[in-house]
Structure 1
Amino acid sequence: MFKRILIPVDAGVQDDMQKLLSSALELTQGWDCTCHVVTVIPDVGMPIVGSYMSKDFVDEARSAVATQLADAVASSGLVAEHKVLKGTVYDSVITYADQIDADLIIIGAHQPELRDYLLGSNAARVVRHSKRSVLVLRD
């Protein structure tokens, strides 16, 4: 069926991340597939934003998030490669899915708020713009 599955998570929301990883484990059991779990940290490279942060801020943040992500994947029981990406969430997810030639993206979604109707959530943008199959999991 699906051979390469991408699972983007928000490492900042532990409960949602664990639920998504548990659901992905349950869904993929019995599939002969490789899972890739990613989280995205925002790019603070803009001069006006980056000037307020130390030179090591991005590296330290990436290292801390990588440890957090590795721990979450390990505790979920899901066998997966994991990686921290940097940039805009939906764009980074779509680009990485193309890089690994993912067959499926499993993404979590929250209950839409008013701002999501105006701007769109990251999950909605991934669904709209990805060339890959996307499975959206809700609570």
Structure 2
Amino acid sequence: MEHKLTASDRLELLEELLKEIKREDLVSRLHQFVEDGEVTAPEEQPDAHEKRRLRAAIEIICDNVAKDWKRLVRKLGVSEVQIERIIVANPCNLHEQFTQSLLQWQRWKGRDAKASDLIKALRECHLNLVADTVEQKLKELNPETR
């Protein structure tokens, strides 16, 4: 990384090194990692203010949505395969399954991930009370209103 040979968006060197040591299993996992959208370039990430808003929204949503969490993440565009993979990775922890699903959505969307998208999806799932709670919290975080 110091020599700028690798970064979160440049994994060719890592892949080459894994192949050199004959770790095709890790090469396969690396490819899966990239395909799942786990790797995003820094310029594709939301800005710091939007990250703060997303973190607050995700925390409120995870604390207030229970049985409808899969419907919500499907509405956001998280695939069934990704949902199942998250469930398998966190078999006994519903809260963590939901949190990881929302974080997966955030990674997948990158810079396009917005708290307003979460609110819209909540409203489309008729979770208006949670949407109202998120909106109220985001108003408190808005630096223009301070």
Whether TM exceeds 0.5 here: the answer is: no
Q: Identify, as 1 or 2, the structure richer in helix.
A: 2
Q: Which protein has the larger Cα radius of gyration, Structure 1 or Structure 2?
A: 2
Taking structure 1 as the reference length, the TM-score comes to 0.29
